[in-house]
Amino acid sequence: MFEFTLEATCGRARAGRFVTPHGTLLTPVFAPVGTQATVKMLTPAQVEEAGATLILANTYHLYLRPGDERIRRLGGLHRFMNWPHPILTDSGGFQVFSLAATRRVDDDGVTFKSHIDGSLHRFTPEKAIAIQENLGADIIMAFDECSDPYDRAYTRIAMERTHRWAERCLQAKTRDDQALFGIVQGGIDPQLRAESARFIASLDTPGIAIGGLSVGETKEETHAMLDIVTGILPINKPRYLMGVGTPEDILQGVARGIDIFDCVLPTRLARHHAAFSSQGRINLRSAIYSDDERPVDEACDCYTCRHFSRAYLRHLIIAGEWLAGTLLSIHNIRTLTRLMEEIRQAILDGTFEQRLPEWLHRWQGNAKRKMVNAESE
Amino acid sequence: MFEFTLEATCGRARAGRFVTPHGTLLTPVFAPVGTQATVKMLTPAQVEEAGATLILANTYHLYLRPGDERIRRLGGLHRFMNWPHPILTDSGGFQVFSLAATRRVDDDGVTFKSHIDGSLHRFTPEKAIAIQENLGADIIMAFDECSDPYDRAYTRIAMERTHRWAERCLQAKTRDDQALFGIVQGGIDPQLRAESARFIASLDTPGIAIGGLSVGETKEETHAMLDIVTGILPINKPRYLMGVGTPEDILQGVARGIDIFDCVLPTRLARHHAAFSSQGRINLRSAIYSDDERPVDEACDCYTCRHFSRAYLRHLIIAGEWLAGTLLSIHNIRTLTRLMEEIRQAILDGTFEQRLPEWLHRWQGNAKRKMVNAESE
């Protein structure tokens, strides 16, 4: 279980296979986000049809509502939400630090108030593992603290805490049908990032996550940190860049040796009527689409683009119809899953590096970062 | 085109086939409502999978937004909304009288203000046909006036106006690939209903609609009017009971010789978290379903019941997730389309009359009428 096979590399880009209890993931892979045990506005059948093979669900949200114990009693998250393919859960750390009403962190854990009803709760590394074992995802995360990347002194404290917590998570873990990933932190400090990458690698978890990036730093800083971290991580384990991202950020991540991505962007943009396209991001609410018979993206093979015009989507948006969000979510997810399929094939063919500049150029108009990863879905 | 073949009768219940340009309808048939060129929260693929073969769209809404001329330019309603099967449009009359902000009716037509922006518009019989020809549905309706059934004096005026308008609609019609149905009015007055049925039958339209029922009168009054009208209408044409209804009302309609039904109920109930079930209507918001592993209805074969528990639906509702409305819409539509399939088979088998009491008993708990047909979707 959790074997990772590297099939090909092209420069630092990697094509691999990661075996999980609910299926083998072909990497690089993009996971849509299903925060509350649903990829918003889509049935699992639609998520599948959009080409997704892995989804992410949020530990913090599911712990609060409907409760991880309840999900365990109901047969676990796969059965609860009818997603028979691999699932990844985060540790809850990021949400506690970005969403919870108030919080107090100490070396043992975090006490916080629910953003839903203000009730008081406490997460520790042991608790984060217990919750994730109740949920039953294939890939689970060590509890971590994500800090302001520009606060260098605190970033060290948070990183060291993250390391201690990762050890405690490994100790606490009881299920052998879940892959626990340690999380590399260290903000945008090259030395801290290198130290964190070495420490997390030393824990010998079946995969390694990179946290605390795409949270406000510049693209150059992100890329520099990725260069440092992926240069240190073992090649025989999957690397997961948390909360990324745009088509451009994914391409930059793959080029630096990342294997797994997740982001709320495709579904969140859809609810704001925006669509990825090979001509740059477009917003279907605009009156210029009122009579436009073309699909959202003529290069797309999704259900939405095969069947509906921009004029129809614009009508749905103006008329306040939910279907617009559903159709655009399908399109945006498919855009990313198709990009991943093309990337993977290019790595296998040895053409990824050669095609990268063209791809970066094609997708750059989709790369506004502001909305990305500010919080969970 | 528009041949109606009566395949079997059982008592007054009828099983037939109605040929339209976009396919042959097996009757009795129930049409979900897609007011704004979308059955709310569902893709056409989901509507199809839920067993629907005919849908209704609203002339009033589509005229105002996105405009019937625009839909014509974009290839007509079937192409616009990607529904390749039969479509029925109403005449706009019911919405003008129930939704428009203010209105002034005269013998030539109705002047009204849009409920969206207060702009001034005028519908005449000729205009209602022109709009419906632009939309391009298979089955279209004559422009009619629906009056308060308890205002007997006005009901006669409205009925006579409806008859004159039906004649003008027939004159105005230019497309021969659309079946124009006249509409029987007459409120709850037996004499007016009989007079209207005779007059509309005399127009020799390829089908006949019955309007102005299920708008506030008692069930006994509805049934009495149906008995009178279907006793007069020719047997060789489909009869469409507008805006009905609940499972019980559909059974009562079929038992009185009705062939076509439409109603917003399955999708509107779904958005209010309510589900039809063979145990009576249930609301999935209730805490009693928090840990309920059963499907919404154990007797149901829909996508929702095959894959999701009541506990999951309850979670989605409490978490404010749109998917709840989608999954319950699928279930509610499928419940009615399956009921129609069972009814049709029973008519063909000659067992409908025998099974009717059991069916009425089984479905009676779903028959609250209050929310039905108060306005369009």
pLDDT value for B368: 59
- Contact residues on chain A for B37, CB-CB shorter than 8 A: 312, 315
Would residue A301 count as lying in a domain? no
pLDDT value for B285: 97
How far is the alpha carbon of A236 from chain B, nearest alpha carbon, in Å?
37
Q: Answer whether A117 touches B (CB < 8 Å).
A: no
CATH number for A68: 3.20.20.105
* Cβ–Cβ below 8 Å for A318 and B41: no
- Catalytic site residue A262? yes
The residue of B46, B64, B74, B318 whose CB has the most chain A CBs within 10 angstroms, and thus the best one to mutate to test that interface, is B74
pLDDT value for B370: 43
* CB distance B239 to B208 below 8 Å: yes
Query: Could you tell me what percent of chain B has a pLDDT over 70?
Result: 97
Please write the tens of the pLDDT for every residue from A69-96.
Answer: 999 999 999 999 999 999 999 999 888 8
Domain encompassing residue B250: 4-263
Q: Answer whether A319 touches B (CB < 8 Å).
A: yes
pLDDT value for A108: 96
* Cβ–Cβ below 8 Å for B311 and A66: yes
Q: What ipTM was reported for this prediction?
A: 0.96
Would residue B212 count as lying in a domain? yes
How far is the alpha carbon of B296 from chain A, nearest alpha carbon, in Å?
14
Would residue A325 count as lying in a domain? no
**Cβ–Cβ pairs < 8 A, chains A and B:** 106
DSSP 8-state code for residue B82: T
Residue with tokens 């889509």: A42
Q: Which of A36, A290, A323 faces B38 most closely, judged by CB atoms?
A: A323
Q: Answer whether B358 touches A (CB < 8 Å).
A: no
Handedness of CA A66, A71, A73, A74 (dihedral sign): positive
* Cβ–Cβ below 8 Å for A327 and B43: yes
Nearest CA in chain B to A324: B41
Would residue A28 count as lying in a domain? yes
Q: Answer whether B287 touches A (CB < 8 Å).
A: no
How many domains, chain A?
A: 1
pLDDT value for B373: 38
- Catalytic site residue A90? yes
Angle between helical axes of A125-135 and A152-172 (0-180°, round to 10):
50
- Contact residues on chain A for B50, CB-CB shorter than 8 A: none
Question: Which element (helix H / strand E) includes B9?
Answer: strand B4-10
Q: Which of B74, B309, B315 faces A293 most closely, judged by CB atoms?
A: B74
Nearest CA in chain A to B315: A66
Would residue B76 count as lying in a domain? yes
Would residue A376 count as lying in a domain? no
How far is the alpha carbon of B157 from chain A, nearest alpha carbon, in Å?
35
Q: Residues of chain A whose pLDDT is less than 50?
A: 369-377
Would residue B250 count as lying in a domain? yes
Would residue A281 count as lying in a domain? no
pLDDT value for A368: 59
Q: Answer whether A351 touches B (CB < 8 Å).
A: no
Q: Which of B82, B309, B325 faces A307 most closely, judged by CB atoms?
A: B82
Q: Residues of chain B whose pLDDT is less than 70?
A: 367-377
Q: Answer whether A327 touches B (CB < 8 Å).
A: yes
For chain A, give the secondary structure using H, E and C.
CCCEEEEEEECCEEEEEEEECCEEEEECEEEEECCCCCCCCCCHHHHHHCCCCCEEECHHHHHHCCCHHHHHHCCCHHHHHCCCCCEEECCCHHHHHHCCCCEEECCCCEEEECCCCCCEEEECHHHHHHHHHHHCCCEEECCCCCCCCCCHHHHHHHHHHHHHHHHHHHHHCCCCCCEEEEEECCCCCHHHHHHHHHHHHHCCCCCEEECCCCCCCCHHHHHHHHHHHHHHCCCCCCEEECCCCCHHHHHHHHHCCCCEEEECHHHHHHHCCEECCCCCCEECCCHHHCCCCCCCCCCCCCHHHHHCCHHHHHHHHHCCCCHHHHHHHHHHHHHHHHHHHHHHHHHHHCCHHHHHHHHHHHHHHHCCCCCCCCCCC
